[in-house]
Amino acid sequence: MKVAGKHYLTIWMDGNSIFMINQNALPFEFKIHEAKKYTDTCHAITTMITRGAGAIGAAAGFAMAQAFIEASGNYETGSAEFQSFIQKARYDIESTRPTARNLFFATERVFQAGIESLEGAKQEAQRLADENIADALKIGEFGNSLIKSGTRILTNCNAGWLGFVDYGSALSPVYVAHRSGKEVFVYADETRPRAQGARLTAWELQNEGVPYAIVPDNAGAYLMSEGKIDIVIVGADRIAANGDAANKIGTFEKAIVAKEFGIPFYIAAPLSTFDLSIPDGTHIAIEQRSEEEVHYQSGPDAEGTMRTIRVTSPGANAINQAFDVTPAKYITGIITEKGVIIPEKNTIESLF
């Protein structure tokens, strides 16, 4: 990740603390947030200080390691109190963002390693973060093969550096293509209500020097009908055994329109996002977030002071589903660290 020419990771662990780029402050201010205890890290995940499938997974792994550190400092290892603390911590961590498969994948691995030893928990959490970076880079390299010079790409939400420890998923092919000298252009959906595209994707692309434009969420169909989009690449938070994929709300409608106009629609995600325990997308739990996110927006005023204002009719109610599920039949392919695959049950199972 490049920030003013300097390389950063999205999230990392140093000692007992977890440090992360505060995504709620972006793009107006670049700040590093410190979470000293696992409950602090849970709060950071829930409030979207850190967000994105891969980053959530890394945060969850680090949080689980923090829980073992805290338990070891307060209780005799293996005691009933120790076990109770660890079990509660795991429940707390897994309750933060229920749709994100990477979160559960990470807590399970670090939990099992921590049962063996405290050092094992810390090492496994770091191993997960390292794998996250390596997988994202491979996704970029495989996805680059789908991009020609001059390709115009539509994406939804943010699945770039900030969504992983580094590189990202949906934007990783863009960055690899751009760095290889290809000319690319990105249309970034604003992604209401949290505006991850308008705030985060735009900020990333600006830092990387990739040409882009922010577009309203409801502009996709028009742009496709005008022949201005060559490919759609988005991330995913959970992929079912049959290839149905949950991603940020608004993804499903883009997939439908892309199919109508014959435009390739790709999901970019590592194997840790796949959930073979569920047969299809109807079994994916969809996170319901506060309606306040719909009613209020924040940003700096003319003097640079951050303000929060209501942008909806006073007294109105709102529904705020964080994700929708795109059926596999609308997905051209899934870009993984093992290559680009067709979204069907047999193909997905063969990856494992």
Q: How many other C-beta atoms are found inside a 10 Å radius of the C-beta of residue 292?
A: 12
Compute the chain's Rg from CA coordinates. 20
59/76 Cα distance (integer angstroms): 26
Where helices occur in the chain by DSSP H, the ranges are 38-46, 53-74, 80-94, 101-116, 118-144, 172-179, 196, 202-208, 220-225, 251-260, 292-295, 345-351
> Whose CA is closest to 188, among 166, 212, 209?
212
Residue 352 CB neighbours (<10 A): 8
Q: Are strands 2-3 and 6-7 parallel, antiparallel or unpaired?
A: antiparallel
> Could you tell me which of 295, 291, 216 has the C-alpha nearest to residue 253?
216
The Cα 200–Cα 188 span in angstroms is: 10
Is 17 within 8 Å of 30 (Cβ atoms)? no
110: closest CA among 43, 161, 17, 38? Answer: 38
Question: Which residues are the active-site residues?
Answer: 237
CB 165 within 8 Å of CB 10? yes
Nearest Cα residue to 257 out of 286, 213, 217, 200: 217
Residue 271 contacts residue 337 (beta carbons within 8 Å): yes
Crossing angle, helix 118-144 and helix 53-74, to 10 degrees?
A: 170
- For the range 81-86, what are the long-range contacts, defined as Cβ-Cβ under 8 Å and sequence gap of 24 or more? 86/111, 86/114
